Amino acid sequence: MKKTIWLIDDDPIYQIIMKKIIHKSDLFSTISSFANGKSAIEALKVAIEENNPSLPEIILLDIEMPIMDGWGFMQEIALMDKSKLESVLIYISSSSIAVEDKEKAKCNSSILGYMSKPVKLEDLIAIATT
């Protein structure tokens, strides 16, 4: 069964590239993209309130974004009803080479992995089929 994926990243060119890779994988029925963590949190809250079945199953989250970065997004997620989000798998997708970011991601149990940009097709297939 195909999955729903959210791409949270402020780089429009990267979003275009990732959408092509996501389409090529043929594993996703719905792709939603957001330019910052705040707009994604707002959409997530609406989806939860409406008991919307289109909640993302996978989120690819950038760290450095304007308005609300990836860490701010994770802080907001931590305040939400966990039972509504238990099927949401979050992966960091970042160009950051900062060791601190990788360590912070490892220490957050809600983050299942850290992938360097650009995410490769085989990495996308691996996370979508587990």
CATH number of the domain to which 46 belongs: 3.40.50.2300
Using one digit for the tens of pLDDT, what is the confidence trace for 9-19?
A: 999 999 999 99
Please, which residues bridge with residue 32 across strands? 6
Using one digit for the tens of pLDDT, what is the confidence trace for 37-82?
A: 999 999 999 988 887 767 899 999 999 999 999 999 999 999 998 8
Buried-exposed string 33-64: b where 16+ CB fall within 10 A, e elsewhere: bbbbbbbbbebbeebeeeeeeebbbbbbbbbe
Q: Please compute the mean of the pLDDT values over residues 33-38 and round it to a whole number.
A: 98
Please, which residues bridge with residue 3 across strands? 28
The C-alpha R_g of the chain, in whole angstroms, comes to 14
Query: What is the tally of structural domains in the chain?
Result: 1
> Which domain range does residue 11 map to?
3-128
Average of per-residue pLDDT values in the chain: 91
Q: Is 97's pLDDT higher than 80?
A: no
